[in-house]
Every structure is written in structure tokens, then in C-alpha cells.
Amino acid sequence: MAVTIRDVAHACGVHVSTVSRTFSAPHMVNAETRTRVLAVAERLGYRPNRAARSLTTGRTDNLGLIVADLSNPFFPPLIKAAQAAARAQDYHLFVADTDEDPAKEQELVHAFSKQVDGIVLCSPRSSNRALEQLVETIPFVLVNRRLRGVTTVVMDVARGARTAMEHLAGLGHRRVALVSGPAGSWTSGEIRKAVADVPGLETVVIGPNAPTEEGGVGVAAQVAAAGVTGVLAYNDLVAIGLIEGLDELGVGVPGDISVIGIDGSITGRLYRPKLTTVAMPTADAGRMAVDLLIKSMSAATVLETHLVVRESTAPPKGLP
């Protein structure tokens, strides 16, 4: 039989309301009494009813996490770390994806706002104006998006992309392509700005493109016709799709064209050739975003990225 709040109160010799306040408003309970109640509750295996507690405190102890695409291997490590961080602080985490659709994103925020205490929004596709309206409804942390006055956790993709382009230049490449991401992607814009003037490189921008493997396959012919010897793709999925599409056209990687992705996902490690990629600290971002949300802290945090060199990059043909 489940242990009730009355069982705890009886075992402690206190009123039921004292046990209730211990869990819902601990600052209102004498420290000695609070310690005794918590110890007895732990010994008896009592867990407070969240729904009842929310009626008293106005809090749900639930958080929302909204990502652009659950099928993208970039997101699972972030989700797993965010969930662990929430659970460690006695919160539940609800996860949903927007399928890269700004309208669905806004719809989910409104739906979640009735059920959670705050939302982590990852790689949002909505406009700044839309986000500014959304953040007025509920506490927010944005991941991979900067917005004035909103707590953000950003992975330094710009620096990582520039490092990737410098890697290609160092191998001897002189004309390269940037296969960009969706038109509404803040990350894609940051990458494009970062690689615009890398010394020694002429950069051809191809896109916008869907941030998927199919998007990479679909742009392969355009890349092959662009006269480039190297490519930086928007993410690992696009890079892998591009390699598949180039292979179908008889263009080898890295023999004919070197390809670099962005994410550092497990998919890139398993693919052949193993993908050179800009590794993103996704787990750290998920963990930090939840911590900042729970603590209601204002911050603009930038996490470092780094280049992982594998098999999909090499000097261009004709160079030793």
C-alpha cells in the first residue's frame, strides 16, 4: 500500500500541513522539523503528489524541450543530457520536435506553456519577432540562437566552421563550396558569415538546403558542377548525403572532392569514409540549458567546438 502524507505526519508527530509545506514551501518550516520530516519521508518511501503540489505552489516541476528534428542524430545526446540534468533536480522533461516548421514551433510553445515551468528551445526556426512574443509567455532558454534579453547557450559553430575552412586551405584547396542549411537557420547564417573571407580560399555558397541526408544527395550534381575541390556542409547528415550523391555521379571523396560536416555525430564516425567534422558540445549544451532554466539565471554562454579530422578530407588532386 502506498505511503501517504498522513503516514509521514503521524510518524513525525506533526500536522499534515507541516509535511505539505516541507515539500511545497520548505523555507516556511523550521530547519529541525524539516530535516526530520524529510528523513522520515525517505525512510517510509513517501513521494509527494506532483499534481497536488502544483495546485499549492503554482509550479508543475515539468520542463519542455523543443528541437527542430528528432530524427537528426545531432539532437539525441543533447536530449539525453538535458533529461538527466532535469531528473537530478527532480523535474520531468517533455520533449517534442517541430519538423523544421516555425508554425509548429510556435504552436508547441503555446501548448507546453500550460503544462511546464519553462522551455528549452533548440535551433529555433521562428523569426526574432515571433520569439520575442513567445518569451513573454513563459521562462525560456534558447540553444544555438541569440536573442537580446533571453538566456542563451550557443555552440561556437562560427569558429568551428572557420577552422574547417582553414583546414581545407592548409591541405591546398583553393576553391571550395559551402553547402548551407535552411533559409531560416540562425546557425547557417553564422557559418556563412564566418567563412566569407578565409585567406587563400574562394568560397561558393550553394543553398539554402534541407538539413537532411536527402538534402545532401539533392545538391550533389550542383557541387560536382561548381569546380570545387572541397566542401563544408551545414551538418553531418547533409555531408553524408552529399558523399552518397557524389558517389552516384562517379565523384570520389576525398579523391576528387574533400567533404567536411558539422555536428560530430556518431553517424559520421560510422560512415565510410569516416567524416571529418566540426564536433559540437551537444551534451554540455543540453545540461547547461536545463540548469540555467531551473535556476532562472540570465546568461549568454558560448561553448567551444573543435575540428575532428578523419578520412573524408585530403589534399586536392595534383598535390603531394
| Whole-structure pTM value | 0.81
What pLDDT sits at residue 50? 59
**Sign of the dihedral defined by the CA atoms of residues 23, 85, 96, 120, in that order:** positive
Q: What are phi and psi of 284, to 5 degrees?
A: -60, -40
Q: Which domains does the chain have, with CATH numbers?
A: 5-57 (1.10.260.40), 62-155+282-304 (3.40.50.2300), 157-280 (3.40.50.2300)
In terms of Cα–Cα distance, which of 80, 67, 71, 73 is closest to 270? Answer: 73
Provide the angle, in degrees to the nearest 10, between the axes of the packed helices 75-88 and 282-294: 40
Q: Name residue 205's beta-bridge partners.
A: 178
Q: Give mean pLDDT in consecutive 10-residue pieces for the chain, a chain of 320 residues.
A: 81 84 75 88 77 54 94 95 93 94 93 90 92 88 93 96 97 97 92 94 96 97 98 98 98 97 93 96 96 87 96 87
The pLDDT value given to residue 90:
85
The answer to whether 255 and 314 are in contact (CB under 8 A) is: yes
Phi, psi of 233 (to 5 degrees): -100, 155
pLDDT of res. 55: 45
User: 3-state secondary structure string, 113-148?
Assistant: CCCCCCEEEECCCCCHHHHHHHCCCCCEEEECCCCC
| Grid coordinates belonging to 28 | 516556511
